[in-house]
Chains A and B, each alone.
Chain A
Amino acid sequence: MSQTADVVVVGGGIIGCAVVHALAQQLPRSTRIVLIDRGPIAGATSGSSMGHLMVTPDTPQDYAFSRTSVRLWNELAERVGGFHFQATGALYLADCDEDLELIPVLHEQFRDNGDRCEILDEQRLREIEPGLAPDVPGALFYPGDGVVLPMLACGAMLREARQWNESIEVRAECAVTGFERAGGRITGVATARGRIATPLVVNATGVWAPELAEMAGQPRLPIYPRAGNLAITAHHVSPIRTQLLEISYLRFAHGAAKVDPAGTDDPGGHAVNMQPQSHGGCLIGSTRQFRGMDRTLNRELLHRSLARAQRYAPALKNVPIVRTWVGLRPYAEGGLPFIGPWPHLDGLWIAAGHEGLGISLAPITGLLIAQQIAGVAPAVDPTPYQPARIGA
């Protein structure tokens, strides 16, 4: 079987689905788009992740990037829905002096970007989150964050994309086996179900992006899996109703990693992130550890992170846990995702490396790729995410 396509997107996670969604929106209806994944749609990282929609105000660029994406999520929820969107906001919790110092910093960052957030006194804290331990020394509430179910969101994006462009083909459980090149550019993709001639390929395969880049004859992409252990409770027993985040999360999870991502000696760490779920349960994360593609549970880290969650939400103690699992976040060297054309092979694009913010940043990522391909002015300055930064 042989066919032709205008764009082949490889990787059926949230990033690949968002790229297809944005391409369908930005390009003419006649554009032939194929989405391909060797596993299920949303079967890997996006099917294992938390669904935090997070606005990060560190810099004006960061803020514009993350805020635009969360706005796009809100619009998708309004238009399409079906992926359990909840406008929970986020409650940043302090537990020590070092944490308490971060609260005014974060407050100022949101305000500097013209956004609003609230430093809570004891009474307001109790109002917003009655399930909280009484001895939490400080907290900040940011109302703009939310929660989605990522795997259902993948389906929602693809269904809307198909409304805009009926010809979109989704090939789940079909592996890419190679690339065809001629004259320094991509000319086609070989798959387990036949070849596809195409001038454009978007590599949206997350932690597997380096493997795919290698298949295209390209030097190793600096993306490394960073494992997270998660747990979920039974229905209707969530001890909290807001999304909780330890504010130390900002020190721990943001920016460039402080350990060698390719090493094997990362002891790992954790910062509590608890999300109420639409079924009344609660999703509990999150741990971070570089240890290659290993997806076995780190019992020690999981137990420690659950103990921390219990510290903030004491009622969790008696709540049934129904499942734990491990997901692999795609950490990109430097801490920022790669979004844009690959500089060494014409026709190859990359949208990968969002670490723990892939769900949150998927819509803006898809939009930046589609706008650059369509030759439209990008919604946010794409410069910091250009793959050309590698080796620069």
Chain B
Amino acid sequence: MSERVRQAQVGIVGGGPAGMAAASALAARGRSVVVLDEGQRAGGQIFRQLPPGVAPPAGVSEPPSHDHGHELIDAFEGAQVELVSGATVWDSKPGRLWFEHAGESHLLECERILLAPGAMDRCIPFPGWTLPGVTTAGALQVMVRGFGVKPGRRALVVGSGPLLLPTVTALLAAGVEVVAALEASSRWNALRALPGVIGNGARLREAMWYMKQLVRAGVKLRWGWTVLRCEGDRHVERAVIAKVDGQGRPRLGTERTIEVDVVGAGFGLVPAIELGLLLGCDSRHLAARGGHCLVVDEQQRTTIDGVFAAGEIGGIGGAEVASAEGALAAAAIDHSLGGPAVSEPLVKQARAERRASDAMLRAFAPLPGLYQLANDDTIVCRCEDVPLSEARAAAELHGRSSRAIKVGCRAGMGPCQARICGPSLQQLATADPACEMDVPVVRVPVKPVRASTIVNAPG
């Protein structure tokens, strides 16, 4: 990229299913599109592609949904779209996206912005979660599927939500023995999702495929279990697991210790709404969809003129929701630029996918008991090394708001800017898992960039 300032009709943040679907559709309508993506290649987290030249492990099969992923990627790569990989968007106003690319400061001027930045792993701290070898489920997938790395020999996968399954299969594909897969939600909760899954052929096929993989590898998915703590000298060596009740509270006397050298913990996802908040878009809290979500209307418009949003940013929903909303957003953006009206089937498709996804997520409602796993010494903010006891003291003295906890103990002030600790900090510090969570405060730069990038920002 040589031009420091460039123009396009549409600037899209994120090259996952939502961004790819929107970009392809907009290009097909003759719109000029630039996609800014942090990854090395298009695909996003869910359809992550290995770096060029790295071959996938032999004999690995993929879930049915990845056919859809390949279609999206093929269409995207064949479309008249400019993709800037390795781009970090750090500031934005309507019509303007500032980003860092290869150490240089750039500005994209565009008539419309589509936010499709995806989601982040939700971390719920437990003793030992900061030991080397313990990562988020998402990070394990990045290691295996993004870099072809085998993260260890014996793995435990814990957490809650549909993403535990692809984490297990990714580990299996990398040749890692998966000792156990623990879903904190109960079998009873799972039944609540059944009507939604059975009524949706694609989701049913997907679930069946994963179950088949697990059975074939002899991995048992245990419902109503979770990790109590991880232990080890400088690296995780074992995990203590236990049964939990319907609220996620551990049941005394059910503890078991298993020897592992890899633990992937994934307690669902959190929408990445920072850029939307920076732009001034309204958000709302939807616990079932992962927390604070951007508000979008029936045409994926945010509350700020010229800014659209699609996919996880409007609430966790998965790849099918993302690509349907991406296609819908593309039509709405095209219409806002003078194109034809948005066709009803696109709206219906996006709504149907949301309904199906919301139905499935009912099985994985947040479990308040999981916030009791951490003890006084458990680090809650790993950027600033803040233990739970200090966060509790901050909430007691400084106040119960997220701002109060932050200034009282520095939690959330480090390089991740509360992306890791923020979604669970208030519940933990106030010892009230049902507390009303504040909307995160977002400041420039949305992601860390060099000082020179800020100083040399064009425009």
Which residues of A are in contact with B by a Cβ distance under 8 Å? 39-43, 47, 149, 151-152, 154-155, 158-159, 170, 172-173, 231-235, 279, 297, 299, 302-303, 306-307, 309-310, 316-325
Contact = CB atoms under 8 A, between A and B. Distances in A.
A40 B399 contact: yes
Given A234-B448, A319-B450, A322-B415, A297 B443 contact: yes
Given A47-B407, A279-B384, A172 B398 contact: yes
B42 to A, nearest CB: 25
B339 interface: no
A234 B445 CA distance: 12
B397 A170 contact: yes
Contacts of B369: none
A318 B399 contact: no
Interface in B399-418: 399-401, 403-404, 406-410, 413-415, 417
B444 A43 contact: no
B452 interface: yes
B454 interface: yes
With most chain A CB atoms within 10 A of its CB, the pick from B393, B400, B407, B414 is B407
A320 B448 contact: yes
A43 B407 contact: yes
A49 to B, nearest CB: 11
Nearest to A46: B407
A246 to B, nearest CB: 16
Given A170-B397, A319-B450, A321-B445, A41 B415 contact: no
Contact of A173 (B383, B394, B400, B445): B400
Nearest to B452: A317
A35 to B, nearest CB: 10
A27 to B, nearest CB: 21
Contact of A41 (B383, B408, B444, B452): B408
B449 interface: yes
A40 B417 contact: no
Contacts of B450: 317-321
B457 interface: yes
B285 to A, nearest CB: 19
A155 B443 contact: no
Contacts of B397: 41, 155, 158-159, 170, 172
B455 interface: yes
A42 B451 contact: no
Contact of B455 (A172, A303, A322): A303
A43 B398 contact: yes
B398 A40 contact: yes
Contacts of A279: 384, 414
A155 B444 CA distance: 27
Contacts of A152: 408-410
B452 A42 contact: no
Nearest to A307: B455
Contacts of B400: 173
Contacts of B403: 39-40, 43, 47
Contacts of A155: 393-394, 397-398, 408
Given A39-B399, A41-B399, A279-B384, A173 B404 contact: yes
A133 to B, nearest CB: 14
Contacts of A39: 399, 401, 403-404
Contacts of A233: 451
17 contacts: A41-B397, A41-B398, A42-B408, A43-B403, A151-B407, A173-B400, A173-B404, A231-B451, A235-B383, A279-B384, A320-B450, A320-B451, A321-B451, A322-B417, A322-B445, A323-B417, A325-B443
A43 B399 contact: yes
A158 B404 CA distance: 15
A37 B443 CA distance: 24
Nearest to B402: A40
Nearest to B408: A155
A324 B449 contact: no
B445 A235 contact: no
A321 B454 contact: yes
A152 to B, nearest CB: 7
Nearest to A158: B397
B415 A320 contact: yes
Given A43-B403, A152-B409, A231-B451, 8 more contacts: A47-B407, A151-B398, A303-B454, A317-B455, A319-B451, A321-B450, A321-B451, A324-B444
A232 B103 CA distance: 19
Given A151-B408, A317-B452, A297 B444 contact: yes
A96 to B, nearest CB: 21
A136 to B, nearest CB: 18
Interface in B405-459: 406-410, 413-415, 417, 443-445, 448-452, 454-455, 457
A101 B438 CA distance: 51
Nearest to A306: B455
The 10 closest A-B pairs by CB, nearest first: A40-B404, A172-B399, A40-B399, A47-B407, A320-B448, A151-B407, A173-B399, A41-B398, A317-B452, A307-B455
Contacts of B383: 235
Contacts of A310: 451-452, 455
Contacts of A316: 451
A232 B443 CA distance: 12
Contact of A42 (B398, B401, B449, B457): B398
A303 B398 contact: no
Nearest to A151: B407
B96 to A, nearest CB: 11
Nearest to A40: B404
A319 B413 CA distance: 17
A323 B103 CA distance: 18
Contacts of A172: 397-399, 404
A313 to B, nearest CB: 9
B177 to A, nearest CB: 36
B451 A299 contact: no
Contacts of B408: 40-42, 151-152, 155
Contacts of B401: 39-40, 43, 173
Contacts of B445: 321-324
B451 A40 contact: no
Nearest to A172: B399
Contacts of A309: 451
Contact of B457 (A47, A158, A297, A303): A303
Which of A158, A303, A309, A323 has the largest count of B CB atoms less than 10 A from its CB? A323
Contact of B449 (A47, A149, A297, A321): A321
Contacts of B407: 40-43, 47, 151
Nearest to B448: A320
Contacts of A158: 397
B412 to A, nearest CB: 10
A115 B451 CA distance: 37
Contacts of B394: 155
Nearest to A174: B399
Given A42-B407, A310-B455, A322 B398 contact: no
A319 B404 CA distance: 28
A234 B455 contact: no
A192 to B, nearest CB: 13
Nearest to B442: A323
Contacts of B443: 297, 323-325
A318 B453 CA distance: 9
Contacts of A297: 443-444
B452 to A, nearest CB: 4
Nearest to B406: A47
Contacts of A159: 397
Contacts of B91: 299
